Structure formats: structure tokens, C-alpha cells
A and B are shown apart, each in its own frame.
Chain A
Amino acid sequence: AQKVTQAQTEISVVEKEDVTLDCVYETRDTTYYLFWYKQPPSGELVFLIRRNSFDEQNEISGRYSWNFQKSTSSFNFTITASQVVDSAVYFCALSPGMEYGNKLVFGAGTILRVKS
């Protein structure tokens, strides 16, 4: 079975704090992709990053960084020096390799509130 768990329902931080959003996934596939999407208050989902199952190199993009650890089936997302504009719902998603149709399996989402 394919499953994505985001255990943190809601996180509140003060601006400039660092925050890490956790994502744990389950799949029997050896080839798969993991994604993070952001849903700002306006409602649309915006793609942030993808990572394939063979690439455990962590990535940094500006204030964002991602930590992929296959041994613990985790794909965590860190925002450094958070800003009010980072307030959104963040979704982790899994694209299993053996699933017909590229169907994404989403976690429940983490609501991030950044207060000024």
C-alpha cells in the first residue's frame, strides 16, 4: 500500500524562526518520486520540489531545504528564517513507480502559520 504521513497538523512560529515539516512515506516500489506542494491562502497548489528514490542528495534552494533519507522513509522540508508569506498548507506527495497513471498519493498536509 502507498501511504504518506504528515504527523504535524499545524505549526505556529514567529517570523525568522526556522521550521521543519515532517513527511514519512510507505511504498513497496523501488522506483518512486516524492514531491512537496504549497497551498497558500489563495487556494491553488504550487509545486515546490521533486526527488527520485535513487537520489538522496539533500537540496537547498534559497531559504528552503529538503532532507531525503531512504533508510527512514522520510522527506522533510525546512524553511530557514521563516516569513509571513510562508504561511500556507504544505503537502508531501508520493508518485509510486508501478502505479498506472502517475497518481499522486498525498499526505494530510501541515498548516504553517508564521506570525510577525
Chain B
Amino acid sequence: NAGVTQTPKFRVLKTGQSMTLLCAQDMNHEYMYWYRQDPGMGLRLIHYSVGEGTTAKGEVPDGYNVSRLKKQNFLLGLESAAPSQTSVYFCASSYPGIDTEAFFGQGTRLTVV
């Protein structure tokens, strides 16, 4: 059982380049999330989805876009990368309900130079 899988695990981008981070979960979870982790700031929510075909903005959505065409996949796109987007990105998924724990991927370390 793979759980939540993120691709790629590491990436270096030049300023202005674009890329897509892929998240796949095999737990049939309705909800999926993208967070970024920066030193001293914990995890901050970028975008989330409560079901196939739906997406919504989180706390820090600027500079990112997302899509959820299939229930098991949640894509995070950077159209024009900036050094401020250097971070560790985590995808998570969960069942509906405020009592359910989120399952996290292993993270993607992105550096924008």
C-alpha cells in the first residue's frame, strides 16, 4: 500500500521556469491538499480539493495553480517560478470530517535559483 506518493522528490528550477508536482493517493480519499513547509513557519496550505473536479485556495495560493481531474491525483503547478517558492512541498489526503487525520507524502524539495 503506497499511501501518498509525490513526484519528483527533488528539483532545481531557474527563475521563470515552470513545472508540475504530481501527487497520487491510493486510499480513495475525497480530500487532498498541498502545503509548503518553510523554516520557522510550519506548514501552510496552498490549495486544496474536496473532490474530483473541485479546487479551492488556501492560505498562500499566489503563484500556484492546481487541478484534480481524477480522484486519486492532485497536481500543483508553478507557471513562472520565483526564488520565494523555494520550499519543501507536501501533499496530503484525508477522508471528510474534522476528526480524520491527514496522510502525507514524503515531500518535494524545490529550489528556485
Contact = CB atoms under 8 A, between A and B. Distances in A.
Nearest to A91: B42
B90 interface: yes
B41 interface: yes
B98 interface: yes
Main SS at interface, chain A: loop
Nearest to A42: B106
Nearest to B109: A43
B3 to A, nearest CB: 9
A68 interface: no
A112 to B, nearest CB: 15
B31 A102 contact: yes
A62 interface: no
A95 B98 contact: yes
Contact of B99 (A50, A100, A101): A50
Interface of A: 4, 6, 9, 31-33, 35, 37, 42-45, 47, 50, 52, 91, 95-97, 99-104, 106-109
